[in-house]
Structures are given as structure tokens and as C-alpha cells.
Chains A and B, each alone.
Chain A
Amino acid sequence: MSTEMPEPASKIELKPGVGGGGEIPTFNITLRVRRYLPEASSDAYWEDFQLTMYGTDRVLDALHKVKWEHDGSLSFRRSCAHGICGSDAMRINGRNRLACKTLLKDLDTSKPITVEAIKGLPLEKDLIVDMEPFFQSYREIMPFLISKGHEPTKERYQSAEDRERFDDTTKCILCAACTSSCPVFWTDGQYFGPAAIVNAHRFIFDSRDDAGDMRLEILNDKEGVWRCRTTFNCSEACPRGIQVTKAIAEVKQAILSRTV
């Protein structure tokens, strides 16, 4: 009696010698990294690295190659490396993006690829910034469910339409790409910033939440939604494609219709 099972449908037979990294095109790039080593010097400077990378590589892979094979002192944050944890937001060729979602082949490899830390937050080392001001704004808008009355014994029901109302703003991964692309935030860091407003929007428009009024009151501040100048930098920077400026406009309208 044979116990052999049929092959799974996904398995593809490869001819010997085919497959592996050899077939992916390789190219040479210059990675220009903004270095800042506070223990060595108080000045930041640009450092170039010549690397041979594959067509499937991302900017994060280039940073890994530098750290693991060229210069171990290069410092940057990354955790999942798959666009979910939100650790590796940085300015790549002058635009805020996630290093783990930016393929090298999509960038102009004939010129040096510049990589810097995100702006507007205190720089700590190389590509690492202090995220505390960012998270402080986030905490201030109370990013958690607040409900009145008794706890239900089952789950809190919500219709598909009510869920759809705030679906876009649930996608935020708190990478700070939006807040650190906002020119108003760059000035003095007092503005709540797009990320805090997006996460307030997520609860303000949630039918299960009862503290929308409280959050609107917090954002009806001179550093709240009224400091938004609709430059759309945040919507352009968001690696999750959230319509950030639209969410801010909806919060503005909610404050207006509540008072007027």
C-alpha cells in the first residue's frame, strides 16, 4: 500500500541550476547616509557606501548590508521589516517613506540614494530620533475605547456601514512619516500633528465610543486641527495610503458642526 500523497499545487519543479539569487538582476548603487554620532562629533555629515544589490532588494536591505558588512556603527530602527511595525520611517531621496517598503529598483540608481532621519523630532543617532513628542501627542488624544453605561456581556455590535466610517484611519501604524513631513510640526513641535488627529478620528467616528466630544474639545485648540494648512504632505507621506488631510478636514467639520 502506497502512502504517497499528491504534490501540493503550489510546488513548482525547477530544473537543476535554475533558481536562487543568480537570476535576479544585480546593480550597483551609492547609498548616501546622513550620519550623526554624538559621541564622536556634534556635526552630522553625509557618508557614501558603494553596494551591489539585487532587483528584489529594498532600501532596508541596503542598510542591512552596510551595517552587517561595511560599518557596524550605523544605527537605525527596524523590527518586522514588512511594513507593519512602523519602525523604519526615514527620508529617502527627500521623501518620508518606510525603508522596508521602498524597492531600490523603483529609485533612480544612477544617482546616490540619500537616506536621512525624519525631520522635526530630536535626533539621537544616525537615523534614530526621539519619538517621545510624537507619542505624547498620541497619548493626549486618548487612543482607546471609552464607553458609558454597563459593559455588554457579548461583543459590542457595529453595522458594516458604521465600521466603514472610520476604516481608513484604522490603518495607522504610528511610523511618524506624516507628522515628521508636516511643515507646521517642524516649526516648534507644538502642533498635535497628523498622526494624533488620525488616531483621534478613528475613535471620534466609532459608533461604539462615547468620548468623541472630549477628543474634539482637545483638538479644538490653537495647536489642534486649526493649525493644519492642508499642504497634503502627510497624505503623500503615509505608507499605508491613509487620506490624512481628508481625516483632518472631517475632524474640523465635526468640531464646527458641534459648536455652530
Chain B
Amino acid sequence: MSVNIAAPRSQRLDPKYVRGPKSRGNFEMLAWLFMRLSGVVLVVLIFGHLFANLMTGTGINALSFGFVAGKWANPVWQFWDLALLWLSMLHGTNGVRTIINDYAEKHATRAWLKGILYVATIFIVVLGSLVIFTFDPCVAGSDLAQCR
């Protein structure tokens, strides 16, 4: 019985274990960096948000439609909530994307899950941004002072 052995350095590699094509650009690096930077900013934004809503004035009892309307009359809070929305959504989406990459074993499953994730993210970010900018406190039946 004879066995054929490939010549040394004939570039023969077992085709069973071929790595996928090399990724282009720095996307993974930027995603990694974004997670760290947005995490730090989110800590400030979230605790600022919690403090303003719960620790000032009469605390949780003050929260109402009118309270939110009052906050969004101020451009600082508009910007604060917009940054909170965008950063937390992108931070969370990237985290779930990472989990899908790690746990989904088939390419098709991975593509589907990520597709659903991105659609949901875009929907929430667009809807949230619209609400922040086009918010009108004077909805039908409103009893706020400035609407009368």
C-alpha cells in the first residue's frame, strides 16, 4: 500500500478548514471603540436623566404628560433625550449584533436575526427622533395651561 504525500511547501492546505474572506476596513475596530466611548457617555446621560426625573421637585409623583411636555420645551432636554435615544439604541444594537455573531451557527440564521434587529432599531430610532422634534403638547382634550 502506498500513500501519496504532497511535496513540501506545495501550498497544499486541507480545504476543510478555510477561513472566510478577510473583512475590509476598520468596522469591527470602530464598533469596539464606539461601545467603550458610548458606554461612558451613557452613564452620564442615564444618571442625569434619572436624577432630573426622580430626585428633583416632588420626585416620581411629578411625572406626567405635562412634565414631559415641560422638559421638551427646553432645547437642552431635547438634545439630552435625543443623545440618550441614539446612543442607547446603537449601543444596545451593537451588543445584540455581537451576541448574534457569537451564538448563531448558520449563516442564514445569522443574516435573518441581524436583519430583524436592524429593522427594529431603525424603526425605534426614527420614531423616537420624530417624537422628540415634532412633539405637540396640545393634543385633543389637553388641559395644560398654555393650550387653552
A residues neighboring B (CB under 8 Å): 132-133, 136-137, 140, 183-184, 187-190, 218, 220-224, 226-227, 229, 252, 255-256, 259-260
Contact = CB atoms under 8 A, between A and B. Distances in A.
Nearest to B17: A133
Contacts of A229: 98, 102
Contacts of A259: 26, 29
Contacts of B102: 183-184, 187, 227, 229
Contact of B22 (A187, A188, A221, A256): A221
A223 B20 contact: yes
Contacts, number: 48
B13 interface: yes
B29 A188 contact: no
A1 B36 CA distance: 82
A255 B32 CA distance: 12
The dominant DSSP class at the B interface is: helix
B47 interface: no
Nearest to B26: A259
Nearest to A222: B23
Given A220-B26, A226-B32, A190 B105 contact: no
Contact of A226 (B13, B17, B31, B105): B31
A251 to B, nearest CB: 12
Contacts of A133: 17
A222 B28 contact: yes
A113 to B, nearest CB: 31
Interface string B28-61: 1101110000000000000000000000000000
A220 B13 contact: no
Nearest to A252: B32
A256 B20 CA distance: 23
Interface string B1-34: 0000000000001101101101100111101110
B28 A226 contact: yes
Given A222-B23, A229-B102, A132 B29 contact: no
Given A140-B19, A184-B102, A256-B33, A221 B28 contact: yes
Contacts of A256: 29, 33
B67 interface: no
A219 B3 CA distance: 37
A227 to B, nearest CB: 8
13 contacts: A136-B13, A137-B19, A183-B102, A187-B105, A188-B105, A189-B17, A220-B29, A221-B23, A223-B19, A226-B31, A227-B102, A256-B33, A259-B29
Contacts of B103: 187
Contacts of B17: 132-133, 136, 189
